[in-house]
Structure 1
Amino acid sequence: MEPIQSSLKKYMQESGWEEALQRVRQDVLTEKRVHDWLFANGEALSAGAVEQGMTALLEYKNSWQNCDQCPGLDKCPNPMTGHQPELYPEHGQIHMRYHPCPLQKAATRRRKQEALVKSLYVSAEFKKATLENVDIDDTDDRRSTALKKAIAFAHEVVPGEEGQGLYLHGMFGVGKTYMMAAIANALADRQIQSMLVYAPEFFREMRQAIGEGSVDEKIDAVKRVPVLMLDDIGAETMSNWIRDDVLGAILQHRMTEKLPTVYTSNWDYEELEAHFSYSNKGGEERMKAKRIMERIRPFTTELYLSGRNRRET
């Protein structure tokens, strides 16, 4: 009986497989990356290592060809999506491993950044906001000053050591929320977590939380975040409970722990204080309003954001 090895070899010769395998082998060994790696690491390889490592060399060659013609992360054809191959010698043999490619690294950074910027009721479009893209007017010193202060805050603030925040106010549509979101994204680059909260919706939900028994849990999440951003403060329907037991508790903790807060509002300090003086049940409580403002005014830098209404086309 003819040995199986002889039969297999004869079959490969007659079918053309052996010739095809030799062409593949030649293509692999003459590919520049493979050739350069073998030249640089030849002394570390045992006799026969190239033949034994041919499968790894072929995968290395093909994966790099995929990378050279990258179709994008979503369509990556490599065995490990978003990863590039690397050859290395070990115990005289050829081995291969994969490392994240630049696109995968960028996607990972984006996911980490988005995890650092938590948003409650704020549009997802602000996830890409940058301070570099904030519109400025060379003839408008106040808008330029606000941007400079925002940049300085984003690059210098240290929650827990420096509790000074920002109070951005101005008319509708001038870009206050965009600037706030851009600050949040810049903080994320420094690995500083922030939370963007649309104040009217948050306070409305707090009223619902009473029946759910989750008031303390929701307050804790907001008051302990390293940098809190309250968007459109003053637009909410005010009540004694929201002012004193919710907002007051949040700001008291943040003041004590030196955690900065950034606000946007259509009103300046005086107008906001007047807003806090009244509740939906009527009456005026100026001292309680002043108590809240004493946790805002001394701990923020007031910035007036001027300009046209960018929501109007």
Structure 2
Amino acid sequence: MDSIKSVIRQMAKGHDIEQFNEKIMSSLLRHGDVQAFLNSHPDITAAVVEKSIPHLFQFVQERNHCDHCPGLDKCPNILKGYQPELVYDKATINLTFHSCPLKQRNEEMKKQAELIRSYYVPDDVLQATFQSIDTGDLDRYDALVAARDFVKEYTENPKETKGLYFYGQFGVGKTYIMGAVMNALKDKNIPSLMVYTPDFFRELKGSIQERTLDEKLDYIKKVSVLILDDIGAEIISPWIRDEIIGSILQYRVMKKLPTLYTSNYNYDELEEHFSYSQKSGTELLKAKRVMERIRHYTKLVTVKGKNRRI
């Protein structure tokens, strides 16, 4: 408030103070919002109004800024992105502030951006929408229907919705459709996370020394919708299979949090992949244990079509 008072004092230099106060008061009282405020509070006296000149001056000045808004980045108001409101409390006129529409939109965009998280996923996938996918491609029709149905079912009944398992050859668009799922969920304020599994699992090994492993696992376990992209492309080890994948899936099954997958392997081929590691050889039982948490909690969808990366 001192800055406003100093502005008024600077304006008053070289003028008779009483005449200046009358002039500025007259100017402030002509402002439509000030008039409306005073009309709604007929008990406000002239003395209260005179004592409140600094608040009224700031209100009018900042409202004029808003009427000729230069954009959020160049907002000249003392509280950037906030509009003033007059309030009458305890025989005093004060100011309160609320975020302007541009500020609200900016915050909403930030919030929306935070709903989509990813590890090692291309930007074009994160921008995918159902509208941007060629719906005339009959080879991917079943996958698109399944993806749309998942979003609808999850929105209506999240605890009872199965995940999806997209199986298909390289480049047929499995990951891109999952990107569209993420954006459809974002529009409904549902957070999701997509992880490119080979790179992410490599990162987790480094997280042990950095002491960030538990933090990363905790987030991936608890996110509303998790998408494990290209599962089966990772180099398997007992630690990855049992301590990472098994731990994540066990938690999500218990909490009824759906997990979606893309893979070049079908269920049986992925089970075979999980069963073998160079260090421990073949461990069929442990592979089956992980696959139980995938088979029974996903819908298998075969994605066909040409390789779009060529």
Q: Scaled by the length of structure 1, what TM-score is found?
A: 0.76
| SS of 1:264 mapped into structure 2 | strand
CA offsets 1:154-200 (integer angstroms, 9 cap, x no match)? 42342xx3362222344445544444344445545655544332211
User: Would the alpha carbon gap of residues 274 and 44 (structure 1) be closer, same or farther in structure 2, given more than 3 Å must change?
Assistant: farther
- The residue aligned with 1:4 is none
CA drift of 1:23 comes to 5.2
- The residue aligned with 2:152 is 152
Q: Provide the aligned C-alpha RMSD in A.
A: 3.5
User: Would the alpha carbon gap of residues 290 and 82 (structure 1) be closer, same or farther in structure 2, given more than 3 Å must change?
Assistant: same
- The residue aligned with 1:35 is 35
Task: Return the match for 1:162 from 160, 163, 166.
Answer: 160
CA offsets 1:280-301 (integer angstroms, 9 cap, x no match)? 4595554443332221011012
| SS of 1:44 mapped into structure 2 | coil
- The residue aligned with 1:8 is none
- The residue aligned with 2:99 is 100
The amino acid that maps onto 1:155 is T
Please tell me whether residue 248 in structure 1 is matched to residue 237 in structure 2. Answer: no
- The residue aligned with 2:178 is 180
Moved more, 234-243 or 115-124: 115-124
CA drift of 1:43 comes to 0.8
CA offsets 1:199-240 (integer angstroms, 9 cap, x no match)? 112211233345556655544443344432212212211223
User: Would the alpha carbon gap of residues 308 and 44 (structure 1) be closer, same or farther in structure 2, given more than 3 Å must change?
Assistant: farther
- The residue aligned with 1:261 is 259
The 8 Å contact of residues 136 and 143 in structure 1, kept in 2 or not, is answered as no
Please tell me whether residue 199 in structure 1 is matched to residue 183 in structure 2. Answer: no
Residues paired across the two proteins, number: 297
User: Would the alpha carbon gap of residues 180 and 241 (structure 1) be closer, same or farther in structure 2, given more than 3 Å must change?
Assistant: same
CA drift of 1:276 comes to 2.5
| SS of 1:48 mapped into structure 2 | helix
| SS of 2:233 mapped into structure 1 | coil
Q: In structure 1, what is the Cα distance between the partners aligned to 2:72 and 2:17? A: 35
CA drift of 1:29 comes to 2.4
The 8 Å contact of residues 25 and 50 in structure 2, kept in 1 or not, is answered as no
Q: In structure 2, what is the Cα distance between the partners aligned to 1:73 and 1:98? A: 15
The 8 Å contact of residues 143 and 307 in structure 1, kept in 2 or not, is answered as no
Please tell me whether residue 222 in structure 1 is matched to residue 220 in structure 2. Answer: yes
CA offsets 1:94-152 (integer angstroms, 9 cap, x no match)? 2221111122223333334444544333456666x464544141352324313422422
User: Would the alpha carbon gap of residues 217 and 51 (structure 1) be closer, same or farther in structure 2, given more than 3 Å must change?
Assistant: closer
Q: Percent identity, aligned pairs only? A: 42
Q: In structure 2, what is the Cα distance between the partners aligned to 1:305 and 1:22? A: 77
Unaligned runs of 5+ in 2: 1-11
The 8 Å contact of residues 272 and 287 in structure 2, kept in 1 or not, is answered as yes
| SS of 2:160 mapped into structure 1 | coil
The 8 Å contact of residues 151 and 185 in structure 2, kept in 1 or not, is answered as no
- The residue aligned with 2:4 is none
- The residue aligned with 2:52 is 53
Please tell me whether residue 66 in structure 1 is matched to residue 61 in structure 2. Answer: no
User: Would the alpha carbon gap of residues 133 and 69 (structure 1) be closer, same or farther in structure 2, given more than 3 Å must change?
Assistant: farther
Q: How does 1:269-284 map to 2 (within 5 A)?
A: 269-280=267-278, 284=282
| SS of 1:295 mapped into structure 2 | helix
Q: Scaled by the length of structure 2, what TM-score is found?
A: 0.77
Q: How does 1:6-45 map to 2 (within 5 A)?
A: 24-39=24-39, 41-45=40-44
Q: In structure 1, what is the Cα distance between the partners aligned to 2:190 and 2:31? A: 46
